[in-house]
Amino acid sequence: LTKVLRSLRRKEKPVYRNSKLTHLLQDSLGGNSKTLMIVNVSPSEDCLKETERTLEFGREVSKVVLENVARKNK
């Protein structure tokens, strides 16, 4: 997911097929969709490293701007 979002942020063509998750979310991550990402963190000190990684992921996600794509008739 991180690689796909990084590609979208850089205006590069993302590779969705490398992960089942990104393959399933392909229509939601590109094209004419509106996507909301929610990150969940723990207040526990035991989870500090995971919380830091989650917040960094959220910061990177917030930089992604999806562009409208012309719809194809199926």
| Full-model pTM | 0.69
The whole-chain average pLDDT of the chain stands at 86
51-64 mean pLDDT: 91
pLDDT band at 16; cut points 50, 70, 90: very high
Q: What gap in Å lies between CA 10 and CA 16, rounded to an integer?
A: 15
Residue 49 pLDDT greater than 90, yes or no: yes
* Architecture label for domain 2-62: Up-down Bundle (1.20)
**Domain edges within the chain:** 2-62
Structure-token pair, residue 8: 């979208």
**Cβ-based neighbour number of residue 7 at 10 Å:** 17
Three-state DSSP at 52 gives: helix
Q: What gap in Å lies between CA 43 and CA 2, rounded to an integer?
A: 24
